[in-house]
Structure 1
Amino acid sequence: MKPNEVQKDSINKKPFKKKKISKVQIHGFNKPTNLFFNIMIAIFAISCVLPFIFVISISLTNEAALATNGYRFWPSEFSTFGYTFLFGEMKEKILQALFVTVTVTVVGTVMNTTATSLYAYAISRSNFPFRRFFTVFCLITMLFSPGMVANYLVMTNLLQLKDTIWALILPMAVSPFNIIVMRTFFKRSVSESIIESARIDGATELRIFLQIVLPLAVPGIATISLFAALGFWNDWFNALLYIQSDSLVPLQYLLIKLQNNIQYLTQNAGAGAQISGGLASIPGESARMAIVVLSTLPIAISYPFFQKYFVKGLTIGGVKE
């Protein structure tokens, strides 16, 4: 090609124009759509909070006002008789049950988080030769359960743990669902190159896990810790199966028994008359709602402290590979 033709060809070419990207293409939605979804999410959030506010209002309402005026979001006549009844008649038992529940929740959450993290980290590494077998084994245990009879026989006959505090901890010490979540989290958040660099420097597998992997996995660990803590705190079925001693009854199971007793006494005038003060001294609906508040308020208060890590860990660990 001659020089004149090269110069002519370069003149004919159009200059490159930078393509503009609209905000709709970046964010995916325009402002009206975002506003619509924000309103929908706000309505959903309010619908989740309103029942709990309703329960608190009933627990602080006088029993006679409830019978006269019905349920309201704002108490027509304030009364703390439901709480004073619980902490007056059942103070020692409630405090003992609360101590058992806190102990089971703390110890069980630590055990669950530790076992889940170690298991998930092992099957997330490509150099582990048995990762496929243990991954399938975890999935099978998550999809298929041996049943209540088999669990009961193992806990009572094989392990001899009936009427011990370990009967409230060990059945939920490992969670297959949490293992799958953490496995995905480790695969996406912990690079193989970082681990290989640590191995070249002479670090052991335990040191790599404690000093490199765990600091990177704080959001995921906070997520499964919250799942485990909720499970241990709300558990009452294991106490129904394995616990007979009053000193080992957890809070949830005690409150369920107390609610059933209140319901029985309020429905049977003869049984209620045997108690000093009769049925008038037994709050019905207010005591039941006070039980609900006592059982859910501690977890509701602790959730905001985990929220930042919980959202990040759930979104990262829940992404499909």
Structure 2
Amino acid sequence: MKDIKVKHQSGLERFNRIKKPTNIFFHLNFILLALVCLVPVLVVLSISFSSEDSIRNSGYHVFPSDFSGDAYRYIAQQGAMILKALGISLFVTVIGTVLGVLLTTTMGYALSRSNYKLKGLLTWVVFIPMVFNGGLVSSYYINSNLLGLKDSVWALILPLAVSSFNVIICKTFFRSTIPDGLIESAEIDGASQLRIFFSIVLPISLPVLATIGLFLCFAYWNDWFQSMLYIDNQNLYSLQALLNSLMSNVDALAKNASSMGISYAELVATMPKESARMAVAIVIVLPVAFAYPFFQKYFITGLTVGAVKG
């Protein structure tokens, strides 16, 4: 008995000796990865608060060498354009996220039920687009010509509303979390499928709702590609499309602001170019950065349950 206790204690000592350097190694790795993610954000923030002269003379720095708020003052002067783009982004993100969550969860729930007759066929319909893509030309033709979404705000919403990956996450979550007995007891009580889904299934599925909602929210908020494809009317530009226009054409703000009575030459000469780009990027990132901590708990739970259990 004493020999077993001695061996156990010696094993714990060896484990503790190994555990300490291992923990240090992992902590250093996590700190390094955090810096890799944090430093670019700090550089962008620093550039947004730097003067154009300091950027031209000394380049980019983690801390601004010549502090200036000209970029944010310039954005404030273009308030009408920025607010209009912000309104489009908020509308697309809110409506798209709600619609996408509704469509994705209903389809995932239907596919998760073992007694659904079209389960096999629709599972293949959902799975095949993950492997084979119809291509940009076909999707553009369908959205523009057949559905008539060209220069419509719905062109920014409908193409991103449902993805096969999100449907599979919902299907796996519902199949592993919602017991058949709960559904059967509700059916015996005379509840319809819609009543079961909205009154029973959704209230106990907050993790997957938060997960899919965050996926969709990030996708809609950060999307600029749909605007590039389908939007020619600048009144329908989102913040992301505006930033993309700035990155590809330094004079984009000047062209939009020329209608306000400011001479084009004066505007181009005085506008903070590099710092204005980074300031718009910070304005775009902040809402998502502030919203994420409130959903992080549900996001991690829903992602791990829906993707691992099976």
Q: TM-score, normalised by structure 2?
A: 0.87
Letter in 1 for 2:151: D
**CA apart distance, 1:229:** 0.8
Which whole-Å deviations, capped at 9, do the CAs of 1:131-185 have from their partners, x for residues lacking one?
1111111011222111111111111221112111111111112111100111111
Letter in 1 for 2:302: G
Give the structure 2 partner of residue 66 of structure 1: 55
Give the structure 1 partner of residue 265 of structure 2: 275
Letter in 2 for 1:276: E
Letter in 1 for 2:71: G
Q: Is the 8 A contact 1:113 1:225 kept in 2?
A: yes
Give the structure 2 partner of residue 153 of structure 1: 141
CA distance in 2, matches of 1:138, 1:56: 41
Give the structure 2 partner of residue 94 of structure 1: 82
2:110 to 122, 145, 169: 122
Letter in 2 for 1:259: M
Q: What pairs up with 1:122-271 in 2 under 5 angstroms? A: 122-262=110-250
Q: Is the 8 A contact 1:262 1:282 kept in 2?
A: no
Give the structure 2 partner of residue 44 of structure 1: 33
Q: 1:276 aligns to what SS in structure 2? A: helix
Q: Percent identity?
A: 44
**CA apart distance, 1:212:** 1.6
**CA apart distance, 1:197:** 2.1
**CA apart distance, 1:320:** 5.0
Q: Is the 8 A contact 2:47 2:275 kept in 1?
A: yes
Give the structure 2 partner of residue 313 of structure 1: 302
CA distance in 2, matches of 1:177, 1:277: 46
Q: Do residues 103 (structure 1) and 88 (structure 2) align? A: no
Q: What pairs up with 1:287-306 in 2 under 5 angstroms? A: 287-306=276-295
Letter in 2 for 1:224: I
Q: Please say which of residues 173-182 and 45-54 is displaced more in the overlay.
A: 45-54
Give the structure 2 partner of residue 4 of structure 1: none
Q: What pairs up with 1:70-85 in 2 under 5 angstroms? A: 70-85=59-74
Letter in 1 for 2:61: R
Q: 2:266 aligns to what SS in structure 1? A: coil
Which whole-Å deviations, capped at 9, do the CAs of 1:228-276 have from their partners, x for residues lacking one?
011111111111121122221111111221333327999xxxxxx9511
Q: Please say which of residues 291-300 and 48-57 is displaced more in the overlay.
A: 291-300
CA distance in 2, matches of 1:202, 1:33: 58
Which whole-Å deviations, capped at 9, do the CAs of 1:78-121 have from their partners, x for residues lacking one?
10111222231x32111111101100110000110000000000
Q: 1:238 aligns to what SS in structure 2? A: helix
Identify unmatched segments of 5+ residues in structure 1. 1-16, 267-272
Q: Is the 8 A contact 1:23 1:30 kept in 2?
A: no
Q: What is the aligned-residue RMSD (CA, Å)?
A: 2.7
Q: TM-score, normalised by structure 1?
A: 0.84
